[in-house]
Structure 1
Amino acid sequence: MSYLCSASSTVEIQAPAHPTAERFESLILHGTVLELYEANLNFHRAFVQLSGNDELDGIIAELRQRTSSAPVSQWKTRARIEQSAREHHEMVDLLQARDGKRLKALVERHIRQSVFTNPPSPPAQPGRSMMRWIVSRAMWASL
């Protein structure tokens, strides 16, 4: 992400991430849980593809295939869904502003769905939380 946010970066930031963020947000009130889940996946796919890091994109896709496809545990409350929508927009805005420090902190919070200041510890239970831990560690290491 530091590379994406550097002033010398040649990465095109006029990305498909904003329309996917808008789609996710619009489905909060008017979509099904499955539509919301798919819109979230589409946003994250578009956002990760901005990095140009095909390996990271592939790792995340593989990790998603290893976990349950049921979106039931994705968000605990509607407030968390709404927070995720705000974070999606802010992630794109910070990327466009090339504010790597704030983007890194936001991505960490978004992945963990909480605030942390140190690399996360592995979860006690495997499953979706393990996928979040693996991805957050990979993101932490690459930032």
Structure 2
Amino acid sequence: MSTPNLQHLGQRETLRDRVREALRAAIISGELEPGVVYSAPTLGARFGVSPTPVREAMLDLVKEGLVVAQPNKGFRITEVSEQDLDNLAAVRLLIEPPTVRTCVPVIPEADFPALRELAQAIVDAVERGDLVGYIRADHVFHLTVLGYSDNRHLVDVVSDLRNQTRLLGLSPLLHSGRLGHSAAEHHALMDLIEARDAAAAEELMRRHIAHVRGLWAGGTEDAP
């Protein structure tokens, strides 16, 4: 499993922003384990940066509830209960599939190539064995699609729900090769978007979120 190159995570972002996004993705993917305390120097060495931007980024994540500061020790990764994960998935199911359905007819054809590139970035991350990159690329793709709803508040809510999710089953899926099939679902969604098949796109999103709560979170295929 490769550590992300922070230089490639966004040229317009500050180092603190890039570190925060990398840490958030590492938490969601389970690379940073729930309940474990990590020091800023240790994480700085892991991500190839000094401890200062790590501390600053972790303080941002404290506000989001992803980590808890441990005085003189570092930061403990917040644990999320199975009930919490069920609830997060339930809310996402209420919001994302119908929103995708409304977005499909209004996405400009001229935007299809850029969306394809975002979908391919997810596949590329899997091929590199980069779970942090996968989480980040997946986040960008889905929020970009939902952005065509022209509802900033909805996108913000979904972003927060996704950030609170834990996908602890991703590493086994990566090593088994099955994560590649899941990554390819994003191209399948693009096929439906380009075909303007809103109903099928909505149904695909329902299955996609079921994967998130099920296999991707270390559960079973038919969860939640």
TM-score, structure 2 normalization: 0.43
Deviation at 1:44, TM superposition (A): 1.5
The counterpart of 2:182, out of the listed 84, 89, 93, is 84
Deviation at 1:128, TM superposition (A): 9.9
1:64-119 deviation line (CA, Å, top 9, x unaligned) = 33345xx54346513442122211011122112110121111111111129xxxxx
Q: Which runs of 5+ in 1 are unaligned?
A: 115-122, 134-143
2:176 is equivalent to residue 105 of structure 1: no
Matches of 1:4 and 1:44 in 2, distance apart?
12
2:142 is equivalent to residue 35 of structure 1: no
Distance 1:113 1:27, change over 3 A: same
2:154 is equivalent to residue 56 of structure 1: yes
Q: Which residue of 2 aligns with 1:140?
A: none
Matched residue pairs, number? 115
Tell me how large the CA RMSD over aligned residues is.
3.0
Residue aligned with 2:149, SS: coil
Match of 1:100, as an amino acid? A
Greater relative CO, 1 or 2 (CA 8 Å, sep 6+): 1
Matches of 1:33 and 1:25 in 2, distance apart?
11
Give runs of ≥4 in structure 1 deviating > 6 Å.
none
2:108 is equivalent to residue 12 of structure 1: yes
The counterpart of 1:3, out of the listed 99, 102, 108, is 102
Identity of aligned residues (%): 23
Matches of 2:201 and 2:211 in 1, distance apart?
15
Matches of 2:153 and 2:208 in 1, distance apart?
21
Q: For the Cα contact (< 8 Å) 1:4–1:98, is it kept in 2?
A: no
Match of 1:22, as an amino acid? Q
TM-score, structure 1 normalization: 0.63
Q: For the Cα contact (< 8 Å) 2:103–2:149, is it kept in 1?
A: yes
Matches of 2:218 and 2:152 in 1, distance apart?
22
The structure with the greater share of residues assigned to strand is 2
Q: For the Cα contact (< 8 Å) 2:127–2:180, is it kept in 1?
A: no
Q: Which runs of 5+ in 2 are unaligned?
A: 1-99
